Structure 1
Amino acid sequence: MANSKKTLVIVESPSKAKTIGKYLGSRYRVIASVGHVRDLPKSKLGIDVDQDFEPQYISIRGKGDLIKELKKEAKKASKVYLATDPDREGEAISWHLAYLLGIDPDSPCRIEFNEITKSKIKEAIKHPRPINQNLVDAQQARRVLDRLVGYQISPLLWRKVRKGLSAGRVQSAALKIICDREKEIRDFVPQEYWTISAEFEHDPDFSARLHSRNGKKLAIGSREENDTILKELESGTYTVSAINRKPRSKKPYAPFTTSTLQQEASNKLNFNTRKTMMIAQQLYEGVDAGKRGTIGLITYLRTDSVRISAEARTAAAGFIAEKYGEQYLGNNVFSNKKKDIQDAHEAIRPSIIDLEPDELKDQLSRDQYRLYRLIWNRFIASQMKPAQYDGMQVDIRNGEYLFRATGSKLLFDGYQKVYGGGNDEDRDRILPELAENEELKLQKVGGEQNFTQPPSRFTEASLVRELEDRDIGRPSTYAPIVGTLSERKYVKREKKTLVPTELGFIVTDLMEQYFHEIVDAGFTASMEDKLDDVEAKGTEWKSLIRDFYGPFKQELDKADEAIEKVVVEDKPTGEFCELCGRPLVIKAGRYGDFIACSGYPECRNTRPIVKTIGVKCPRCGKDIVEKRSRKGKIFYGCSGYPECDQSYWNKPVNKQCPKCGSLLVEKVSKGEKKLECSNKECDYKE
């Protein structure tokens, strides 16, 4: 009689279970653990410091019934395969599952795959392996280290500053980076400088910028100096002294890593890091692709590598040659900047190369489609030839002064046929045909006053880039870091930038004074390297914890004695409560600042901070003000609410639509601010 028992495959998410179950058929049972099943307890430290930092794992509360089901299914299965995500976190989940289900971790019980397609799943089933203890220990080391820092500094902050605060090994270093940037901005002193340009009559007309005087670059620091030079430039002749033509090529970008995907999705799609990862997870786990069935559209989304498999490069080459022509085929190989430990997975790419985004437009949500298109375009472009330009540089002399004009003409679009081509640097800058010693006719020459600008505040995208450049954190940590800083009120968002709050500065100053190494970017990066060595070299993870904990515990005890209670003052408004007469103050809330009575909790009077925008309501004539929805999204509504419920999602301006008379609103698209009619039935745009 044939064996009727099924093979059990355990994955992390229900959607992944559904996708994989369709691939494997009736002889397999695929169920989800729904993430971790065992973890450190939330209510206490959960690490026995006296017993060499032994973690005290417990089954996660609320998962008792699920664990019973897993045990039941494992008991009646002919074989059990653990198919959690192919990273440290996934390896640790498999290790915990093996413990609960009584599976020998050294047996061939673990399968992994970088993409959820039928062929890759079937291939993975054929090659099970033991659980990789180095990966597990690398995850344990991070978990224990982060728990020791977070669960011992956070209560200190509760006692000394305010309840609900937190500190973290990577989080605190990231906050210091944001605070340091804000200090740079505050301390910045603008420096005046002038730029001088000349416009010449030709076919077509063109301009050149003053470059040097007597072979030395010019730095014009005042109006007087600018006017003196302009007076000298009004006389004399302008002659072409040199023409240099040089071909220039622009190489395609590498396919996405986790951090570059987060950055580009922020810049091009206006996604925050959390949204990018959530949608990418959906694309990885599987979506209904119409006639092709349910498939995972992209490879694994947590990776630091730009490596592409030979199989994927071959498939891309065939697709490019057929769709765009052999002349576009680049077949490029990219190398990683970092060490091999981060090369466990390929770059993020489409699982099925010839599955174009537009084929799936009706099956995907708008955001899924946009992110998949971004990933697909970036990968295909990475395997195409560089764009080729004809570069031209013209030097124009007038006495001791040299002007310079640069231009370029696109000769071959290469990868820009698919990705890019929209930046200023990609556009043609056509200079006329000129000859050396040709005398030019000056139209006008003038100077423009400028001031040096302070460094920019961080956006989520630029913070991710900074953390990656400094080797702080890892791909999976970037999204939670930004979320935590915002939730703890350490930073607030102004448009797309991250601005540290007074509380953020207070916490950072305390951390820098008493836990300098925790917030030091160099120390945090070196600790990341040591943690990686647990995986790469098999370094004993507890020895790393021992070396860290001794000095840290001394700092902790010293800080507890030295830090006095810090009072975070609420900012007074200068107004008084209409209910009890006490002063009104500005408090920090979940969705931003608000006005409240200083007599809280006896008096609970609150009201929002009203920001007028200088526009009157077209219905009742009262002010339109900036508001926040319950979910924290900014919108604009009449200050006469609830009597008048006029509102707009986009910012109105003091200008009426010439077609229908409704207010125009500002709409930002691809970094450009445009005006359009607020009336949905009117198509007027400027």
Structure 2
Amino acid sequence: MSKPLVIVESPAKAKTLARFLGNQFRVEASVGHVRDLPENASEVPESIKKETWGRIGVDVDNGFKPYYVVSSDRKSRIRELKAAVKDASEVLLATDPDREGESISWHLREVLKPKGSVKRIVFHEITEEAVREAIEQARDIDLKLVDAQESRRILDRLYGYMLSPVLWKKVQTGLSAGRVQSVAVRLIVEREEERRAFRRSTCWDLDAKIRAGETQFVATLVRVGEERVATGKDFDPTTGALVGRNVRLLDEASAKTMREVLAGRLPWTVTGVEEKPTSQRPSAPFTTSTLQQEANRKLGFSADRTMSAAQRLFQDGVISYHRTDSTTLSDKALRESARAIKDMYGEAFYGGARQYQTKVKNAQEAHEAIRPTDFGQRPQSLSLPPDEARLYELIWKRTVASQMADARLLRTTLEITATGADRRPHVFTASGKAIQFAGFLRAYVEGSDDPAGELGDQEILLPKLSVGDHVTAPGQGPLTLAGLDPKAHETLPPPRYTDASLVKTLEEDGIGRPSTYASIIQTIERRGYVWRQGKALVPSYTAFAVTSLLKDHFGQLVELGFTGRIEEDLDQVSNGDLDRTQFLEQFYNGLDDWPGLRHLVTNEDRIEYPVIELGVDPATGQKIVVRIGRYGAYAQMGDANASIPEDIAPADFTIEQALKLLKDRTDGPQSLGADPKTGLPVYVLTGRFGPYVQLGEAPEKGSKEKPRRASLTKNDQPDSITLDRALELLSLPRLVGHDAETGQDIIANFGRFGPYVKRGDEFRSLGTDADVFGVTLDQAIELFKQEKKGRRRTASRTVLREVGLHPESQAKIEILEGRYGPYVTDGTTNASVPKDVLVDALTLEESVGLLKAREGAPAKKGRGRAPARGAGRTMGTATARKRPTKRSA
């Protein structure tokens, strides 16, 4: 007997839905998008290959008609879905409740062509109540939302496919441009430029430690007479010059002199006491953007790691939909959160039902905020994987706190005045904060991008003092001076962007959609435009070159305001206020002061190779520039050039360092001596991967023979390395011994992740660098008997993730980084990871589904040889070279 068919995107979501719907419905998964614009030359339909726009897959001459194709790894899934549709009494399309989900539903309808009833159902949480309510309110597909999503897809295709080839010709092959991606890179580069231009300055002040009974607090000198004591904000960040008006700059000598004078002029007098009761409101529940920001601040999660964990929580029915701009909560959520607050904290901590207004530009998709689906499921009561558990706790606490009472605080400011030798008042101040009623702070305290900001949220208790009280020497009264210390403060350059601060800036300027930020950051990192230094996003010199080219020749395309206006136009398309074709026509062919993308790209001959100016040699006045070469960035002065190590941030690369690299390259390698065994000289050199030692001379061009080389470890310095140490490094890999049980040799060496031992294809990490030379055969064998410790992937690994074991073959399933992007493999079959699926979000079931879909599919043509120039995926297919660490050989 036929029954309704429900189609969702992922197997995990399908499995959760099937639990609620039982045998009344059949639930299937599309496994992401079912079709898209062609991604490479082999997918372009024969009917359009000869057209000038065929490579793009969009007919720019006739209403921007897109040509969609079903990729080979989706065809078997489509066949299965078509068979399921034939047996269904009706089809319910239950893809995600946003524009992209609406578009996927439309594509499913167009591809499957059901003959019976087709309806769209939308739910913002995967609970039985929400799903059944959505089925009762089934509707038609919203074609306005589909138009908006299709417009976005076509716009991004035009942008990427027309600008990326310019970057290939003028900068480096394999680079990509993107409507939001390029703006994000520009922001990161401009922040690095600010850091490079920054000039450090130092100022001093005095900290007075004052004791009142058992309490001690610190008061800081803020004013001398009518002059403020200079602080960091009084200096120009680019020149380091003092720009604050009516301020007094203290240096070390004057601060120490002032200490001696003021310490001898006791007593001081309390001249001001101000107590100000204030209240503090809780933050709104999470949106996509604020969740990414807070998870980065508090948990150290990257944006894609946050979204991957949130995706799994949503699919398991634990939280509501995680792609949302809304800060509102449903009546049901308001009731449940109120009950949880009263049960856990007491009636006094419930602040009454609160709704929050979003402050985001171009906010769309009227969903709820991200919240637990059941507030009774407290974080400690659920058994979840580590990432999901930590993220769920964050979401639960933030949502509950948003409905709690305001915190009541008492802020106190003390003013204490000493008299200097010149009779002028020297004013010290101390600020405190006492929590009179914790309110929502019992549950949650919001993080800050500024560490000092988080310290400011801590409770600081000051003693009860009155105007006229005196600060005396120890033993002479209840309020005494316990110490007076000069303190130096160095001005700091503007901080580099993190995932949190970049997401915040993009959202505030209306650039892109918060649901895409995770994939944007993941893309610019994978393409080699940025690398990570802790949480900080550091731009590469390639990013500098690309940004320079785009700003000089395609300026409007990377302007924040222009990109934000595009989002506003897309919103108008989704509302039916702007015709899709008219919008695309204006972007492509131009309007008023906007020349149009087509015109900009056709004049590419005016574009010169971008160079980054570093400065001049103070001795000769010659200009030093940075260029991007086949093997990375290099410094150039006249005819001399030298590779720049990839682990040096552009803002930290100085003229002095450049001159040293150029001098070392011009003078030739530094010889440490000769190897006693071979008689060959041993050199220490610096390359794009950092310093290394080399045995023998460099080979002539064209020679296939290469001298033996070894990277220096993080504990080795090029200026102090000895011949013995260099020979020790060159002796690697070291044969530890022969494992008789397995019949394999064990070797020790340094790798990109540190010291290790290897037996066949197995690796085990060693504790210290010295272990490479000291580990014994017995110790190494014992290491292999121990379970291998997991290691989170880094940007330089080929294996992105181990998914699990295949349920049928028990083969290990992994996700690898390939030439055309990430792919799933079980060692026999390879299947591309859909571009709309985050690597960390792919489940074992989904991976198996991709592999099964790939089995039996026709082999892709042309994979046996390199594609012709421009014949492959035009936008962002070449995987950027991974950043090696200092230990990479």
Q: Would you say same fold, with TM above 0.5? A: yes
Q: Post-superposition shift, 1:587?
A: 4.5
Alignment of 1:255 with 2:285, yes or no, is yes
**Partner SS for 2:273:** strand
Q: Post-superposition shift, 1:628?
A: 2.2
Letter in 2 for 1:382: S
How far apart are the structure 1 equivalents of 2:226 and 2:364? 48
Q: Post-superposition shift, 1:136?
A: 0.7
Match of 1:378 in 2: 398
* Change in CA separation of 1:605 and 1:131 when aligned onto 2, cut-off 3 Å: farther
How far apart are the structure 1 equivalents of 2:692 and 2:564? 38
Match of 1:432 in 2: 463
Alignment of 1:489 with 2:528, yes or no, is yes
Alignment of 1:264 with 2:294, yes or no, is yes
Letter in 1 for 2:38: P
CA contact (8 A) 2:434 2:460 kept: yes
Matching of residues 61-100 of structure 1 within 5 Å: 61-100=72-111
Q: Post-superposition shift, 1:484?
A: 1.4
* Change in CA separation of 1:103 and 1:217 when aligned onto 2, cut-off 3 Å: farther
**Deviations 1:106-161 (CA, angstroms, capped at 9, x unpaired):** x7610010000011011111010111111111111111111001111112222332
How far apart are the structure 2 equivalents of 1:472 and 1:593? 40
Alignment of 1:562 with 2:587, yes or no, is no
**Deviations 1:394-427 (CA, angstroms, capped at 9, x unpaired):** 1112242222111122222211222239953343
Match of 1:35 in 2: 32
* Change in CA separation of 1:141 and 1:505 when aligned onto 2, cut-off 3 Å: same
**Partner SS for 1:453:** coil
Aligned equivalent of 2:333, options 278, 287, 312: 312
**Deviations 1:554-587 (CA, angstroms, capped at 9, x unpaired):** 1111124533597526454755999999997744
Letter in 1 for 2:563: T
CA contact (8 A) 1:9 1:30 kept: yes
Matching of residues 245-394 of structure 1 within 5 Å: 245-286=275-316, 296-330=317-351, 331-338=353-360, 341-361=363-383, 364-394=384-414
CA contact (8 A) 1:303 1:348 kept: yes
Letter in 2 for 1:187: A
* Change in CA separation of 1:583 and 1:458 when aligned onto 2, cut-off 3 Å: same
Mean alpha-carbon deviation: is it higher for 441-450 or for 126-135? Answer: 441-450
Matching of residues 152-231 of structure 1 within 5 Å: 152-203=162-213, 204-219=215-230, 220-227=249-256, 229-230=258-259
CA contact (8 A) 2:97 2:124 kept: yes
* Change in CA separation of 1:161 and 1:65 when aligned onto 2, cut-off 3 Å: same
CA contact (8 A) 1:259 1:475 kept: yes
How far apart are the structure 1 equivalents of 2:692 and 2:141? 52
* Change in CA separation of 1:583 and 1:238 when aligned onto 2, cut-off 3 Å: closer
**Partner SS for 1:63:** helix
Letter in 2 for 1:317: A
CA contact (8 A) 1:141 1:545 kept: yes
Letter in 1 for 2:224: R
Letter in 1 for 2:269: T
How far apart are the structure 1 equivalents of 2:78 and 2:577? 31
* Change in CA separation of 1:406 and 1:576 when aligned onto 2, cut-off 3 Å: closer
Alignment of 1:447 with 2:486, yes or no, is yes
Aligned equivalent of 2:124, options 100, 114, 126: 114
How far apart are the structure 1 equivalents of 2:295 and 2:702? 42
How far apart are the structure 1 equivalents of 2:373 and 2:107? 29
- For structure 2, the residue ranges without an aligned partner over 5 or more in a row are 41-54, 231-248, 420-424, 448-453, 473-480, 590-595, 611-626, 635-641, 644-664, 672-677, 718-724, 730-748, 757-763, 784-788, 792-889
Mean alpha-carbon deviation: is it higher for 535-544 or for 74-83? Answer: 535-544
Q: Post-superposition shift, 1:602?
A: 4.5
How far apart are the structure 2 equivalents of 1:536 and 1:104? 29
CA contact (8 A) 1:625 1:637 kept: no
Match of 2:563 in 1: 524
* Change in CA separation of 1:640 and 1:396 when aligned onto 2, cut-off 3 Å: closer
* Change in CA separation of 1:497 and 1:649 when aligned onto 2, cut-off 3 Å: farther
Aligned equivalent of 1:467, options 495, 499, 506: 506
Match of 1:552 in 2: 597
* Change in CA separation of 1:450 and 1:49 when aligned onto 2, cut-off 3 Å: same
* Change in CA separation of 1:351 and 1:513 when aligned onto 2, cut-off 3 Å: same
- For structure 1, the residue ranges without an aligned partner over 5 or more in a row are 287-295, 616-620, 651-686
Alignment of 1:22 with 2:19, yes or no, is yes
**Partner SS for 1:638:** coil
Q: Post-superposition shift, 1:215?
A: 4.7
Q: Post-superposition shift, 1:211?
A: 2.2
* Change in CA separation of 1:581 and 1:215 when aligned onto 2, cut-off 3 Å: closer
Letter in 1 for 2:376: D
TM-score (norm 1): 0.84
Aligned equivalent of 1:457, options 486, 496, 517: 496
How far apart are the structure 2 equivalents of 1:515 and 1:582? 46
Matching of residues 384-423 of structure 1 within 5 Å: 384-399=404-419, 400-420=425-445, 423=454
* Change in CA separation of 1:576 and 1:476 when aligned onto 2, cut-off 3 Å: farther
How far apart are the structure 2 equivalents of 1:307 and 1:635? 51
**Deviations 1:267-320 (CA, angstroms, capped at 9, x unpaired):** 22222111111111011001xxxxxxxxx0000011122111122111111221
Q: Post-superposition shift, 1:627?
A: 3.8
* Change in CA separation of 1:143 and 1:443 when aligned onto 2, cut-off 3 Å: same
Alignment of 1:543 with 2:543, yes or no, is no
How far apart are the structure 1 equivalents of 2:323 and 2:765? 31
CA contact (8 A) 1:626 1:634 kept: no
* Change in CA separation of 1:62 and 1:583 when aligned onto 2, cut-off 3 Å: farther
Alignment of 1:233 with 2:280, yes or no, is no
How far apart are the structure 2 equivalents of 1:304 and 1:605? 57
* Change in CA separation of 1:607 and 1:504 when aligned onto 2, cut-off 3 Å: farther
CA contact (8 A) 1:625 1:636 kept: no
TM-score (norm 2): 0.65
How far apart are the structure 1 equivalents of 2:708 and 2:194? 35
**Deviations 1:330-352 (CA, angstroms, capped at 9, x unpaired):** 13221111367425211110011
How far apart are the structure 2 equivalents of 1:345 and 1:181? 34
* Change in CA separation of 1:117 and 1:635 when aligned onto 2, cut-off 3 Å: farther
| Number of aligned residue pairs | 627
How far apart are the structure 2 equivalents of 1:194 and 1:80? 72
Match of 2:713 in 1: 611
**Partner SS for 2:16:** helix
* Change in CA separation of 1:625 and 1:458 when aligned onto 2, cut-off 3 Å: farther
Identity of aligned residues (%): 39
Alignment of 1:125 with 2:145, yes or no, is no
Letter in 2 for 1:12: E
Mean alpha-carbon deviation: is it higher for 263-272 or for 180-189? Answer: 263-272
CA contact (8 A) 2:211 2:482 kept: yes
CA contact (8 A) 1:134 1:538 kept: no
| Alpha-carbon RMSD | 3.5
* Change in CA separation of 1:594 and 1:387 when aligned onto 2, cut-off 3 Å: farther
